[in-house]
């Protein structure tokens, strides 16, 4: 009953808002280049379904590749940090600099360096850069958070560095990593969108570019359609990563247990 209500309530609200939106646009004669009615947006979506899906796929590909690159690089660097205090001291400040410098400011440089002929590589790199830091910092924290007594026990039984890493530090870090992945998934989508904006029309063909293009042509219904798809993509990424988190932690981690009650 409570679960059903959790689904029905937001749905009812959405129907009410869309209904009101449709009504006010018609009743007040709001021009479609200011605010198109939901019906018009749906029509734009249906009318351009093929090309919008192609754009969605482009943006999804850049987002996923950026995300995976960030995941691999962030986790690998975190493991390096956990094994070598020297490496951590030397490299961590640069990771922070990378994090605090706004990506919009670096994006043009990356596009020039990588080159417009490798536009997708440049976009992926930008998406990866945005998503990289949360993975690195959370995983590094997780790897350091191993229970001290368990660590002593491992030493007592003569465990090697890799046994400790694999059997103790990595499982300890897993909830941290999964939490970071949920943040990084959203960030890599933002990175992909920013990258497409900076790359500009004619080179990028993803959803963000469709938004820029529609805005320039005052096709606001189309803009909304692309925006809706972009939001859906973000929600889908978050949902998949939440599901992954739940599947991996459901048996033992407090976060998954409290949800059950």
Partner 1 sequence: MIRAGGVTKTFAGGTIALDNLDFTIAPGEFVTLLGPSGCGKSTALRLIANLIQPNSGTITFDGPAPAIGFVFQEPTLMPWARAIENVRLPLDLQSVPHAQGNSSAAQALARLGLSGFEQSYPRELSGGMKMRVSLARALVARPKLLLLDEPFAALDEAARFALNDDLIALAKQDGITVIFVTHSLAEAAYLSDRVLVMTPRPGKVAADIALAQPATRNAAWRVTPGFAALQAQIALSQGGAE
Number of residues that bind partner 1 (CB under 8 A): 20
Cα 225 to Cα 43, 60, 149, distances in angstroms: 9, 16, 55
Site for partner 1 contains 150 (CB under 8 A): yes
* Secondary structure class of 33 (helix, strand, coil): coil
- Nearest to residue 236, comparing CAs of 46, 102, 67? 67
Site for partner 1 contains 153 (CB under 8 A): yes
Interface with partner 1 by CB under 8 A: which range of 118-126, 199-207, 229-237, 252-260? 252-260
In the complex, least distance from residue 49 CB atom to partner 1, rounded to whole angstroms: 45
In the complex, least distance from residue 72 CB atom to partner 1, rounded to whole angstroms: 23
Site for partner 1 contains 253 (CB under 8 A): yes
Between 159 and 178, how does the x/- string for binding to partner 1 read (CB under 8 A)?
A: x---x---xx--x--x----
The C-alpha angle with vertex 127 and arms to 80 and 68, in degrees rounded to 5, equals: 50
> What is residue 37's DSSP assignment?
-
Q: Which lies closer to partner 1 via its Cβ, residue 89 or residue 155? A: 155
In the complex, least distance from residue 149 CB atom to partner 1, rounded to whole angstroms: 4
202 — alpha (psi -120 to 50), left (phi > 0) or beta? left
Report the C-alpha gap between 183 and 135 in whole angstroms.
9
- The residues that touch partner 1, with contacts defined as CB under 8 A, are 147, 149-150, 152-159, 163, 167-168, 171, 174, 251-253, 257
């Amino acid at each position: 009953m409570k679960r059903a209500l959790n689904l029905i309530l937001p749905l009812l609200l959405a129907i009410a808002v869309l209904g009101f939106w449709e009504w006010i646009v018609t009743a007040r004669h709001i021009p479609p280049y200011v605010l198109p009615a939901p019906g018009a947006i749906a029509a734009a979506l249906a009318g351009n379904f093929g090309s919008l899906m192609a754009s969605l796929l482009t943006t999804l590909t850049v987002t996923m590749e950026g995300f995976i690159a960030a995941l691999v690089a962030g986790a690998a660097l975190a493991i390096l940090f956990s094994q070598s205090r020297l490496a951590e001291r030397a490299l961590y400040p640069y990771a922070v600099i990378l994090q605090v410098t706004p990506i919009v400011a670096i994006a043009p440089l990356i596009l020039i360096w990588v080159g417009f002929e490798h536009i997708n590589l440049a976009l992926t790199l930008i998406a990866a850069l945005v998503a990289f830091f949360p993975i690195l910092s959370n995983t590094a924290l997780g790897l350091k958070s191993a229970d001290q007594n368990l660590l002593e026990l491992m030493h007592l039984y003569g465990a090697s560095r890799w046994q400790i890493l694999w059997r103790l530090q990595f499982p300890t870090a897993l909830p941290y990593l999964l939490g970071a992945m949920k943040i990084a998934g959203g960030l890599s989508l933002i990175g992909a969108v920013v990258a497409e904006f900076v790359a500009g029309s004619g080179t990028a063909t993803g959803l963000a570019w469709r938004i820029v293009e529609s805005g320039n042509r005052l096709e606001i219904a189309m803009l909304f359609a692309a925006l809706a798809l972009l939001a859906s993509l973000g929600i889908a990424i978050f949902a998949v990563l939440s599901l992954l988190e739940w599947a991996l932690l459901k048996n033992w981690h407090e976060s998954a247990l409290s949800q059950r009650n």
